[in-house]
Amino acid sequence: MTAYEKWELCAPDIKSVILLGLTSTYFWNTCRRHVWSYQRLYHGQWSGEKIICVGEHIKPFDHPPGLFSEHEARHLFSNEFYRARLGLEKGQNADLHSFASTFDEEPKDWRLTYMLDLSEVYGMDWYDLVYSVLGNNHRPSDFADMCKPRLSDFYPENQSWILRNLTTLEYIRSEAIALKPEYIRGPFIDYLGFGHVVLSRICWSSNSLSSVEDDVSTMRGIWAGHRFDITTVEKHKQSIRNYEEWEDISEEIAQEVARIWESVFGEHWREKLDFDGVF
């Protein structure tokens, strides 16, 4: 169970928490911590989860090693419920792509304004409601910052960020893959970033055909089904256990990504990406 799911089971009504906090300075100082924690749980909802990008042409029981146990695989791909849901005939087994298509849930939007829309009740946005009732003199001075935070409030841009493979104990530095240093904004990197790195190694298909004319196997990704997170270098150092040996593979990844992009867009792919925004 993810941290977000655990919170959902015991979370207070966050609207009520905010309204209670607005009654006095004492309550606001207490409630603001809960508001902040509530918002943080909407970030990194896939952090630490097994991630895989599954191709359409995949055979039943074809999945990366370690993604499922033998018992789990039999249950998922031979389950009568999923057979019926997918319209399969008796004796047919589901494949990973078909199984994944039965789920349509998307990550929750992290912005509190989307979580706390009172317009249906009061005829206006909840944020505007507070301003109209309390005005500037009676609301907390940090009310706007707390309820409408910037991404930089959660992801400081003055710190170095890394992508970590929690399964293999490997990490990639942002400066190693960014086209230019000025494109780095905390964990967010313009044009070519951590997301591209992950996607280049988590694809999985029974079909080996690919548009990438290179020795890099993007269709049988060596990271498919692995767990990841993105954190600062400082937090990484603080979280390392004594027996763990992490490896910096930034240069290896940078070279691999360059080969993939060059095989598709030619040797001047960096210029195309930088000036044309082809991706």
Q: How far apart are the first and last CA of the chain?
A: 34
Rounded to whole angstroms, how far apart are CA atoms 64 and 78?
A: 18
**Of the spans 139-143, 151-155, 217-221, 247-251, which averages the highest pLDDT?**
247-251
State both tokens at 210.
Answer: 């690919």
Rounded to whole angstroms, how far apart are CA atoms 161 and 231?
A: 6
Q: What is the pLDDT of residues 223-276, one digit of tens each?
A: 999 999 999 999 999 998 888 899 999 999 999 998 888 887 788 888 777 655
Q: What is the pLDDT of residue 237?
A: 93
- Ordered DSSP codes for 30-51: HHHHHHHHHHHTTS-TTTTSEE
- β-pairing, 226-232 vs 161-165, is antiparallel
- Mean pLDDT, the chain, rounded, equals 78
Give the rounded percent of residues in the chain with a pLDDT score beyond 70. Answer: 71
Q: What is the pLDDT of residue 35?
A: 80
Give the rounded percent of residues in the chain with a pLDDT score beyond 90. Answer: 28
Q: What is the pLDDT of residues 167-184, one digit of tens each?
A: 999 999 999 999 999 999
Rounded to whole angstroms, how far apart are CA atoms 191 and 201?
A: 18
Q: What is the pLDDT of residue 117?
A: 43
Asked if the model's pLDDT at residue 8 lies above 90, the reply is no
Provide φ and ψ at 164, rounded to 5°: -115, 135
**Of the spans 3-7, 86-90, 254-258, which averages the highest pLDDT?**
254-258
Asked if the model's pLDDT at residue 138 lies above 50, the reply is yes
**Of the spans 28-37, 91-100, 127-136, 247-256, which averages the highest pLDDT?**
247-256
Q: Are 147 and 35 in contact (CB under 8 A)?
A: yes
**Of the spans 81-95, 200-214, 221-235, which averages the highest pLDDT?**
221-235
Instruction: Give mean pLDDT, residues 200-207.
Output: 88
